[in-house]
Amino acid sequence: MLLVIDSGNTNTVFAVYDGDVLRGEWRSSTRSDRTADEYGVWLSQLMQFIDLKREDIKDAIIASVVPANLFTLKTLCRRYFATEPLVIGEPTVDLGLQIMMDRPEEVGADRLVNAVAAHVKYVGPLIVIDFGTATTFDVVDGAGNYHGGCICPGINLSLEALHMAAAQLPRVAVGRPAQVIGKSTVPAMRSGIYWGYVGLIEGLVKRISEEFGAPMTVIATGGLAPLFIEATEAIHHLDQDLTLRGLVEIYRRNKAA
């Protein structure tokens, strides 16, 4: 079985795949002070709940946008699962795509993994919107090559910035308001964030498609993606497992090589 690790700025996702079958998935807050032993004990106990043993894991693959966590996650794989993990971004790992960027080394691992997964499942030029700590828009051509995109402040990050910078604005939860015009401060904030992001999505999708010069299929992923797919026709597909499937696909390509 394959241990898949996706370490983002906010959460780290651990998943176990048996071929293409997802056997288990667990999340932990991303903290650079957490040790390999802490992860190992935590993950081993969770695996036991679904009748998996550490010895069942034969291989591992890691994508991380937090460099400080990479050594810890590698140590976890070596010490607790007796495997040398593939790591997205290392020269020996073939992603199977061209990175059409001025500085390919600066592209986040998660964005490239999403591009791989999206090209495998969906047809034609694509835009992948990932609602994470940052909201990213990534462009993939019909051959699966990565062309860059846009990076925007994440929704929760924007809400926190409003609260921190304005003394009279409270923290509010993200949600779809019943109306656009807020009649008090909290509804006005919720409306501005929610419908402002809908406008951001629609505007950037339109501009990216026009600049690319072709109709594009739009896929949304990330924790807050379900909130927005119902509010706009600009998003065609919701795919919550995109990054994990991309890691499985990259593992398969490299092991078959």
Identify the pLDDT of residue 254: 94
Count the domains in the chain.
2
Contact in structure between 7 and 62 (CB atoms under 8 Å): yes
Q: Structure tokens of 243?
A: 């990054």
Biggest alpha carbon–alpha carbon distance for the chain: 60
Cα–Cα dist 113/135, whole Å: 16
Identify the pLDDT of residue 220: 97
Long-range contacts of 99-106 (CB under 8 A, 24+ apart): 99/145, 99/146, 100/145, 100/146, 100/147, 100/148, 101/146, 101/147, 101/148
61, 121: one domain = no
- Among residues 110, 138, 141, 239, the one annotated as catalytic is 110
Tens of pLDDT, residue by residue over 193-236, are: 899 999 999 999 999 999 999 999 999 999 889 989 989 999 99
Per the annotation, the verdict on 141 as an active-site residue is no
Q: Cα torsion for 127, 99, 118, 23, to the nearest 10°?
A: -140
Identify the pLDDT of residue 257: 57
Residue 169 within any structural domain of the chain: yes
Sorted by sequence, the CB contacts under 8 Å of residue 57 that are 6+ apart come out as 1, 2, 3, 16, 81, 83
Identify the pLDDT of residue 223: 85
164, 55: one domain = no
CATH number at residue 182: 3.30.420.40
| Ranges in the chain, pLDDT < 50 | none
Cα–Cα dist 198/139, whole Å: 19
Domain span at residue 201 reads: 104-246
Identify the pLDDT of residue 178: 83
Identify the pLDDT of residue 167: 62
191, 236: one domain = yes
119, 237: one domain = yes
Residue 238 within any structural domain of the chain: yes
Strands 59-64 and 86-87: parallel
